[in-house]
Chains A and B, each alone.
Chain A
Amino acid sequence: MPMVKISIQALSLQYADGTESLRGINLDIHANAITVLFGPAGGGKSSLLRCLNRLNDLTEVRTLAGRILVDGQDILDPKTDVIALRRKVGMVFARPVVLPFSIRGNLTYGLELAGERRKSRLDEAVETSLRQVALWDEVKDRLDDPAIALSGGQQQRLCLARVLALRPEVILLDEPTSGLDPISTGKVEASLQELKRNHTIILVPHSIQQAARVADYAAFFLQGELIEYAPGADLFTAPRDKRTGDYITGRFG
């Protein structure tokens, strides 16, 4: 059995407007694997992702109960260094949000915030992270162009590279390919397969097909509850819960 990187214990979340987003979630996420969180919209997948790097701190949350252990440390503890946590647990969003800088600036921003000033280190990080997402050859001659000039697929890979430049241990991806064409999607998925050797990856896919393609482990969420959690090969071929089966075969959703 691979190492457990993140252990979610009895996690419940309710937003300030009264909507209940997560109910008593228990989930162990394994290191060096792709864990897929899937299910219909409003199931709590994104909310769970945003708990894992404490981005939910910035929305109005009424109650947040339970524990999330990352390497054995409870990150919901108020004493947690949130900034350090977000560097360790990086996140890529559904819509690529390149920051209003150059391509290079997008990649070095996080490192500069972390205090890295040496140009050689920054240049090295730019090249390494761009190579990891197969973007280096496409942009190496125009690193100082505004990042907004890239195509949607390139922007999303840039956002992934930006997170990688920080050398995170865990990468959270919230429907990272929802706005991309199949070729770009394929490139991102291929990058993920490479990346899982050194990283723990948690992905909210934009389709069941994608979930089935990439999942080492899969968790099915329905209206804030975790219905079923199993290795991807088992869950997509022989689901134990009837609701999982119905969703996978397209009876609802």
Chain B
Amino acid sequence: MDPTASTPSTTATVRRPTSTRFTRGLGVAVIVGAAWVALFGLVLSPNDALQKTGVRILYIHVPSAWLAYLAFIVTGISSAGYLWKRTRSLVWDRVAGASAEVGVLFMGITLVTGSLWGSITWGTYWTWDSRLTTTAFLFVTYIGYLAVRGLGGTLHQRARRSAILALFAVLEVPLVHFSVKWWRPLHQNESVAEGELEDMMLFTLFSGIVTFTLLYVWLVIHRQRTLALDDSVAEHGLDAALAERRQEALQ
């Protein structure tokens, strides 16, 4: 076995191998932010005149949706970064993969919180409305993207294959976004952009968006590093096997 493989530098890096001073600070900010959003969203903000308590779900539903879009766009950009010869690096590929995975998580949260909200407001958990259907389609697409990443092959094969797919998949993001304008749907337009939210509600929603964005950055940094570790385990697994074989040959 590779002697260095089992001698990590310090215990801290073993306990928190993907953590740095920056991410720890960011992590604390995210925890404070999450408590803040829960406090304002559930307790301090007012009920909506028509939706009553339903509006409280929007403080997490809207930021999740925004983050899922952001995550998929970052995946698209990173994929282009990998495919472009002058910037080709597996780091792009890992950022793309990490961001897509976090995006799928947030898109799932968006769908679940959205259907809970729909049940309160519309009177149904699900309807085949254009916004809902395109969102579900986006969710499924990126699960497919993650599956394609797991299909095997070399790291560069994985990177190339998934990058090409990501460049097509990201085209769905504007489709979902504008579905509200293109079809006559049940789902309303973006209220934030049109300035129709009451001040306290706007403030709570804004806190949610900031917190979730910081959370996204934290998650992608950690996930990207975890992927780097996984990739090097795959490499070192082979390293160790080669070393063993060489050892056998010498005996």
Partners in one complex: no
